[in-house]
Amino acid sequence: MDYGGVLLLSAALASFIVPLSIGRGEHWAPWVLALLAASLPLLGAFLAFERRLARRGGMPILDAALLQIGSFRRGLVVAFLFFFTAPFYVFFSLYLQAGLSRTPLAAGLAVLPYGIANFLGPMLATRFPAAARPYLFGVGMALELLGYGGIALCAALQIGGWAIFIVIFTAGFGQGIAMPEMINAILGEVPRNHTGLAAGMMNSTLQIGSSISVPAIGSIFFAMLGDGTTPADYGHALGVAIGSQIAVLGLSMLLGLRNGRRSVRDGGRAAADAAPRRAGR
């Protein structure tokens, strides 16, 4: 067990996430900024520790050898940005309860369409022919961005009813379609004997992205809300926060599409290089 790596990575994440979470309330005191600045040296110490552990024949939680695989390395960046959806659950619920005076039960039921659609999306994706599946990531992300754009618009304009139901369902459905193809692109070129470790690294990256996204987008939400207490104030804050989330998810989409194209191109080159060798035999 890589206890040292776990400790250093946890410290690096805590020194980044905690200041983002409490910085506004502490008026960005010097100690908060110092803690935030310490995240980079701690991350560097974690990477150095992992390299030393690998050289000694240990089992690091971050295998640097896997990062030599281009599609996997680029895919981790896509995965980190892909789970910047977590703020939606937190701040949409806050908008409904604090802004619109809805009950916790009503707020929970309001996001239920997202979960249902997120469940149905992957099931539908498996029914597409194999030739169409490489395009599903782009299609799913486009639907997700469209859905989140609709959520931001509905919040800003105080629109409810079936309109908000439809856009929430669209966002969840898009994520459900895109996620399986994202996972395939990340793990597709990883050797089978390293698939378990690679999957663990990918899942950790998704969770880290989710953890960082809440305080990061939350800082924007509360900065926009200020001292506001009306439904319009909360709607405006949520609209801007979701807009920031859309920007991050859009970047994830562009990087994911680029990663897919590069993987196909690299795979074609590898096949072309292998053909003469097979012919020579």
Q: Say which CATH number the domain at 75 has.
A: 1.20.1250.20
Domain of 193, in residue numbers = 67-266
Task: Please state the domain count of the chain.
Answer: 2
Tell whether 138 is covered by a domain. yes
CA angle 199, 204, 206 (to 5 degrees): 95
Q: Does residue 91 share a domain with residue 51?
A: no
Question: Taking the model in full, what pTM does it have?
Answer: 0.84
Domain boundary among 40, 64, 88: 64
Tell whether 280 is covered by a domain. no
Q: Does residue 157 share a domain with residue 24?
A: no
What interhelical angle do 231-280 and 86-94 show, nearest 10? 170
Q: How far apart are CA 144 and CA 138, in angstroms?
A: 10
Return the closest-CA partner of residue 248 out of 213, 279, 222.
213
pLDDT string in tens for the chain (281-residue length): 678 888 999 999 999 989 888 888 888 899 999 999 999 999 999 989 988 888 887 778 787 788 888 889 999 999 999 999 999 999 999 999 999 999 999 999 999 999 999 999 988 888 888 788 788 999 999 999 999 999 999 999 989 889 999 999 999 999 999 998 999 889 988 988 888 888 988 998 999 899 899 999 999 999 999 899 999 999 999 999 999 999 999 999 999 998 877 765 555 444 444 444 444 55
Cβ proximity of 195 and 183 under 8 Å: no
Question: What is the secondary structure of 98-115 as a DSSP string?
Answer: IIT---HHHHHHHTHHHH
Q: Does residue 95 share a domain with residue 21?
A: no
Q: Does residue 151 share a domain with residue 222?
A: yes
Could you tell me the CA-to-CA distances from 86 to 89, 206, 210, 272 in Å, in that order?
Answer: 6, 11, 6, 42
